[in-house]
């Protein structure tokens, strides 16, 4: 059995949904579990609905939601003939689920409403794709993943209850006795009180990996709109090259430093069961793509990851007390309690440097708290370049025209903060 994951870009138009059917034609006999994201930018659009609702702007929320509704109804209309009515009825159920909530007043926390509203994106897209595939001859069974993936109630970053979910997946697996293709949503789950949850943005890769793990899948394929994983972002580095092969550790490192290749949580469930991950291009399935597995991969080119909008916090002790002796613990504790994940830290005798993403509100809080002990300086608009397997030539090329502010290196990896 194989697990396929199709992202938002692979289902964002009538043609692309049709393309998905064509891809399945290359796998006529395989048992497949297919995980699908929300169409195109639907999740972003639903985030706006949630924000308007929570701000008390009910009219605006409803009219933003209507745009999402109409887009899906139009897509369904173009795609479907025999399944059109059945699909519309299913979509209508989800519309009602959302509108019912939007007509209320918010009384709980924002993150709860966010999840109840945003999860609709995946429900709508999978309903349409499933009906389309059935009509196109790829018989499949649609499943509401909220009946399978059980999570805690940490809305927007819900944590999976593996034991409960494993039992549900075992039940689901029995369906393969009569069905060749099961199709469900990525990114969403549900609490034990049937409240919808989400697993963090771009979480569908992770959902697919959870299923691959629990189903002991032969492999997982993520279908993307790029030919393969590249060693740099081709939009910024025209000389970027494809990476045909990577190992799990490399991908975890890349994701950690900010490469937007694969959701960072995806690798662990696969690595734990030694399940290979393929990244393939849905626009041209004949391309080899990238294969990610456990074995060491030799001869990798420099892999470049860029994080923009970085902030350097420079904390200096006022009374010449050594940072490491007096305050290191306090500093890390402050970062942890504000849920700030430093992208790079460095400490000298009386100063501590820390590079973080630009979450203005959190940084302000941190600066305020830290200013009781330190002189605090905040420098914005920087970029953090990380290069794995760097060479002198690659660094020279990368750093020309840049002002280097901070640099940290190991034999494997160099990180350079630049302006």
C-alpha 117/C-alpha 371 separation (Å) is: 39
Query: Please, which residue, 262 or 344, has the CB nearer to ligand ASP?
Result: 262
- Is the Cβ of residue 204 or residue 343 nearer to Mg ion in the bound state? 204
Between 269 and 366, name the residue whose CB sits nearer to ligand ASP.
Answer: 269
Nearer to ligand ASP, 206 or 248 (CB): 206
Q: What is the rounded CA–CA span in Å between residue 413 and residue 2?
A: 34
Q: How far is CA 185 from CA 122, 182, 309, in A?
A: 6, 10, 32
Cα(179)–Cα(149) distance, integer angstroms: 20
**Nearest distance, CB of residue 206 and ligand ASP, angstroms:** 8
Q: Which of 173, 201, 362, 407 binds ligand ASP (CB under 6 A)?
A: 201
Contact residue for ligand ASP among 49, 119, 121, 146 (CB under 6 A): 121
d(CA 28, CA 399): 50
Report, in Å, the least distance between residue 8 CB and ligand ASP.
5
Binding at 83: pick from ligand ASP, Mg ion, none (beta carbon under 5-8 Å per type): none
What is the nearest approach in angstroms of ligand ASP to the Cβ of residue 204? 3
DSSP 8-class letter at 187: S
Give the three-state DSSP class for 296: coil
Burial readout 353-379 (b: 16 or more C-beta within 10 A, e: otherwise): bbbbbeeeeebeebbebbeebbebeee
Provide, rounded to whole angstroms, the least separation between the CB of residue 151 and ligand ASP.
15
264 binds, among Mg ion, ligand ASP, none (CB under 5 to 8 A by kind): none
Q: How buried is 107 (Cβ within 10 angstroms: 0-12 exposed, 13-18 middle, 19+ buried)? A: exposed
Q: Residue 12, interface with ligand ASP (CB under 6 A)?
A: no
Q: What residues between 138 and 177 interact with ligand ASP by CB under 6 A?
A: none
Q: Which of 202, 224, 230, 265 binds ligand ASP (CB under 6 A)?
A: 202
Please report which helix (H) or strand (E) contains residue 280, including its range: strand 277-281
Site track 15-54 with ligand ASP (rule: CB under 6 A), x = hit: ----------------------xx----x-----------
What whole-number distance in Å separates Cα of residue 22 and Cα of residue 136?
9
C-alpha gyration radius of the chain: 23
Site residues (CB under 5 A) for Mg ion?
7-8, 37
Which residues are near ligand ASP by CB under 6 A? 7-8, 37-38, 43, 121, 186-187, 201-204
């Amino acid at each position: 059995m194989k697990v396929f994951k199709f992202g938002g870009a692979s289902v964002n138009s009538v043609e692309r949904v049709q393309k998905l059917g064509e891809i399945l034609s290359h796998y006529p006999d395989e048992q497949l579990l297919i995980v699908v994201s929300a169409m195109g930018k639907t999740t972003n659009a639903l985030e706006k609905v949630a924000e308007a609702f929570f701000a008390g702007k009910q009219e605006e929320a409803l009219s933003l939601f209507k745009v999402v509704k109409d887009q899906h109804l139009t897509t369904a209309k173009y795609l479907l003939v025999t399944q059109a009515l059945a699909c519309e009825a299913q979509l209508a159920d989800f519309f009602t689920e959302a509108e019912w909530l939007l007509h209320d007043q918010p009384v709980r926390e924002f993150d709860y409403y966010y999840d109840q509203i945003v999860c609709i994106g995946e429900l709508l897209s999978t309903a349409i794709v499933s009906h389309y595939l059935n009509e196109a001859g790829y018989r499949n069974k649609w499943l509401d993943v909220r009946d399978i993936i059980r999570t805690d109630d940490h809305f927007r970053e819900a944590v999976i209850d593996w034991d409960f979910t494993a039992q549900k997946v075992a039940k689901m697996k029995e369906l393969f006795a009569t069905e060749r293709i099961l199709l469900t949503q990525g990114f969403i789950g549900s609490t034990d009180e049937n409240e919808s949850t989400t697993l963090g943005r771009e979480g569908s890769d992770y959902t697919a990996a959870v299923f691959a793990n629990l189903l002991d899948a032969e492999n997982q394929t993520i279908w993307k709109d790029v030919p393969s994983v590249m060693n740099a972002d081709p939009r910024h580095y025209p000389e970027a090259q494809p990476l045909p092969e990577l190992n799990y550790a490399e991908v975890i490192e890349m994701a950690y430093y900010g490469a937007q290749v694969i959701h960072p949580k995806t690798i662990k469930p696969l690595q734990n069961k030694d399940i290979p991950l393929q990244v393939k291009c849905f626009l041209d399935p004949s391309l080899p793509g990238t294969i990610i597995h456990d074995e060491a991969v030799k001869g990798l080119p420099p892999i470049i990851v860029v994080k923009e909008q970085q902030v350097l916090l420079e904390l200096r002790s006022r009374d010449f007390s050594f940072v490491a002796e007096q305050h290191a613990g306090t500093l890390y504790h402050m970062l942890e309690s504000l849920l700030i994940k430093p992208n790079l830290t460095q400490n000298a005798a009386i100063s501590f440097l820390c590079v973080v993403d630009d979450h203005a509100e959190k940084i302000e809080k941190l600066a305020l708290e830290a200013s009781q002990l330190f002189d605090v300086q905040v420098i914005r608009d920087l970029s953090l370049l990380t290069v794995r397997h760097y060479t002198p030539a690659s660094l020279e090329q990368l750093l020309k025209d840049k002002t280097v502010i901070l640099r940290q290196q190991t034999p494997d990896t160099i990180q350079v903060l630049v302006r």
